[in-house]
């Protein structure tokens, strides 16, 4: 690093490379596995809980909503907190909450106590993913930012796959409670994060802690190049500070269209993911499959998401952010029509569910790189968290809507075709609201361009 010329944080991170980013991706990716497992284990315990507690269809659908209610609150508050106290403290706390409120459910025999624990768990669930995405985007070189962000979602998909494996092979043998006992593991990971995770240099510099930001950058250089180049604080140059910060900034003239577009697209993706994730195993049971076969079909949904998330980032760089999102939602709409009408062997249905899941997970994850790219450091945590938080309305509504439709006696085909609607809306939202191509632009450059446009 040159000690004479002024340098931005993005420029320094680009120069030292992504070796540290790979280590961070693994560390935070495992946090994603735990958060998503604890969020989605309910999908694989709904049928047993419905029988044990004598629940009707609407109550059963509501089992998935309690953590989502907490997640909306967690996402809305955690972003603001992270912009005040930092990404690290916020994420460590979120992961700990996920574990400490899931473990006790193993012993619960009350619907109301279950609901309370799931709402509190949701606070951690809502806070976790936005902080992972924000932190990874702030530690990753420009050229690989989209790939790293979407690979973080691979770990979320691994969490879903882990949940599916537990649902298919452990819960049928040991009962639904074992799933929540396993959900206590994040308590341990929160302690590991507390001792191994570094605070974002972007955040540190934005709150005037340039010396600490430089120490983090020195560590990145040591990992990436094996050297340490001393820099004075005045060498570190920052983008212009935004005129507004906090929640209000998301709706300011320069960010309103971006915010609305991001929220609409991710709402649609969440509606699909949570609706399918919550009801697919139950739909397969009602279609006549044995419990293990129904959960195996649900597992194909989760495995496909791992593969889709692995390639989405590359697609974002090849096709551009907007085109990539539109491609994913268009493929989703087509595959839902095919899935609604598919007949035949277990293998054919498995393959169709796999391709459908690949499509809608691809579309949803394609939105992810845009969120941290769209806001400056001073309210990036808030922007990404509220973006994720609003999507929880889609996640909240989907199981309820599907539950009402299924409870009214709708066929399997009708229940599946519901999800073509958010797919089409997602295409329109991307076409109308995504106008700036963020490919190849550093976080500092994107922030500066936004502020210059507002000036």
Q: Please, which pLDDT band fits residue 97 given cuts at 50, 70 and 90?
A: very high
Q: What is the pLDDT of residues 342-384, one digit of tens each?
A: 877 778 888 888 999 999 999 999 999 999 999 999 999 999 9
Mean pLDDT, range 388-417, rounded to an integer? 81
Q: Please, which pLDDT band fits residue 245 given cuts at 50, 70 and 90?
A: very high
CA 164 to chain centre: 18
The torsion region of residue 344 among left (phi > 0), alpha (psi -120 to 50) and beta comes to left
Q: What is the pLDDT of residues 32-51, one digit of tens each?
A: 999 999 988 998 898 899 89
**pLDDT for 1:** 46
Q: Please, which pLDDT band fits residue 2 given cuts at 50, 70 and 90?
A: very low
- Which H, E and C letters describe 175-206, residue by residue? CCHHHHHHCCCHHHHHHHHHHHCCCCHHHHHH
pTM over cut 0.75: yes
Q: Around Cβ 234, how many Cβ atoms within 10 Å?
A: 8
Pick the more confident residue, 65 or 11: 11
**pLDDT for 280:** 72
Q: What is the pLDDT of residues 187-199, one digit of tens each?
A: 999 999 999 999 9
Distance from C-alpha of 436 to C-alpha of 176, rounded to nearest angstrom:
47
Q: Please, which pLDDT band fits residue 428 given cuts at 50, 70 and 90?
A: very high
CA torsion angle 194 200 201 206 (round to 10): -120
Closest CA to 247 of 367, 131, 389, 365: 389
With 60 as the cut, is the pLDDT of residue 107 above it? yes
Q: Are 88 and 186 in contact (CB under 8 A)?
A: no
Q: Are 91 and 181 in contact (CB under 8 A)?
A: no
- Give the residue carrying structure tokens 């955040």: 203
Mean pLDDT, range 328-334, rounded to an integer? 97
With 90 as the cut, is the pLDDT of residue 185 above it? yes
**pLDDT for 3:** 45
Q: Give the percent of the chain with pLDDT over 70.
A: 94
* Domain edges within the chain: 9-454
The 8-class DSSP code of residue 236 comes to: B
Domain 9-454 superfamily per CATH: MFS general substrate transporter like domains (1.20.1250.20)
Distance from C-alpha of 349 to C-alpha of 287, rounded to nearest angstrom:
12
Q: Give the percent of the chain with pLDDT over 90.
A: 59
Pick the more confident residue, 390 or 399: 390
Alpha carbon distances (Å) from 361 to 76, 356, 373, 391:
23, 9, 20, 14
Q: 7 φ, ψ to 5°?
A: -140, 140
Q: Are 23 and 140 in contact (CB under 8 A)?
A: no
Contacts of 297 (CB under 8 A, 6+ apart): 280, 281, 284, 289, 346, 349, 350, 353
Distance from C-alpha of 150 to C-alpha of 64, rounded to nearest angstrom:
25
Q: What is the pLDDT of residues 283-320, one digit of tens each?
A: 666 666 666 666 666 677 778 888 998 999 999 999 99
Q: Please, which pLDDT band fits residue 282 given cuts at 50, 70 and 90?
A: low
In DSSP terms, 7 is beta-bridged to 236
Which among 150-164, 319-333, 411-425 has the top mean pLDDT?
A: 319-333
């Amino acid at each position: 690093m040159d000690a004479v010329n002024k340098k931005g944080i993005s420029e320094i991170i680009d120069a030292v490379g992504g070796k540290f980013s790979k280590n961070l991706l693994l560390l935070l990716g495992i946090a994603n596995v735990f958060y998503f497992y604890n969020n989605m284990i309910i999908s694989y315990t709904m049928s047993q809980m419905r029988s044990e507690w004598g629940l009707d269809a609407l109550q059963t659908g509501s089992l998935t909503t309690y953590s989502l209610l907490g997640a909306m609150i967690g996402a809305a508050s955690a972003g603001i907190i992270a912009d005040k106290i930092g990404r690290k403290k916020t994420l460590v706390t979120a992961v700990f909450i996920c574990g400490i409120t899931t473990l006790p459910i193993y012993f619960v025999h009350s619907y109301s106590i279950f609901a309370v624990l799931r709402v509190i768990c949701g606070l951690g669930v809502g806070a976790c993913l936005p902080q992972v995405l924000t932190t990874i985007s702030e530690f990753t070189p420009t050229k690989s930012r989209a790939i790293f962000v979407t690979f973080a979602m691979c770990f979320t998909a691994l969490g879903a796959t882990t949940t599916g494996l537990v649902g298919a092979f452990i819960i049928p043998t040991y009962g639904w409670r074992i799933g929540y006992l396993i959900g206590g593991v994040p308590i341990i990971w929160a302690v590991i994060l507390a001792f191994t995770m570094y605070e974002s240099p972007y955040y540190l510099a934005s709150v005037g802690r340039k010396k600490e930001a430089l120490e983090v950058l020195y560590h990145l250089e040591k990992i990436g190049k094996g050297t340490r180049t001393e820099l004075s604080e005045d060498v570190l140059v920052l983008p212009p500070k935004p005129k507004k910060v906090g929640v209000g900034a998301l709706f300011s003239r320069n960010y309103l269209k971006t915010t609305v577009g991001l929220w609409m697209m991710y709402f649609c993706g969440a509606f699909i993911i949570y609706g399918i994730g919550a009801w697919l195993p139950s739909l397969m049971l009602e279609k006549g499959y044995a419990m293990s076969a129904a959960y195996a079909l649900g597992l194909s949904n989760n495995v496909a998401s791992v593969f889709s998330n692995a390639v989405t980032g590359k697609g974002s760089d090849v096709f551009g952010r907007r085109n990539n999102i539109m491609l994913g939602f268009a493929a989703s709409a087509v595959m839902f029509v095919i899935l609604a009408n598919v007949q035949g062997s277990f293998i054919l249905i498995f393959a169709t569910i796999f391709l459908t899941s690949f499509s809608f997970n691809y579309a949803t994850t394609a939105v992810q790189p845009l969120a941290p790219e769209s806001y400056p450091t001073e309210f990036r945590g808030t922007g990404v968290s509220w973006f994720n938080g609003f999507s929880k309305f889609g996640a909240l509504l989907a199981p309820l809507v599907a539950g009402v439709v299924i409870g009214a006696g709708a066929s399997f085909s009708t229940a599946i075709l519901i999800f073509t609607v958010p797919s089409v809306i997602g295409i329109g939202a991307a076409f109308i609201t995504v106008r700036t191509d963020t490919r190849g632009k550093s976080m500092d450059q994107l922030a500066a361009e936004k502020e210059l446009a507002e000036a």
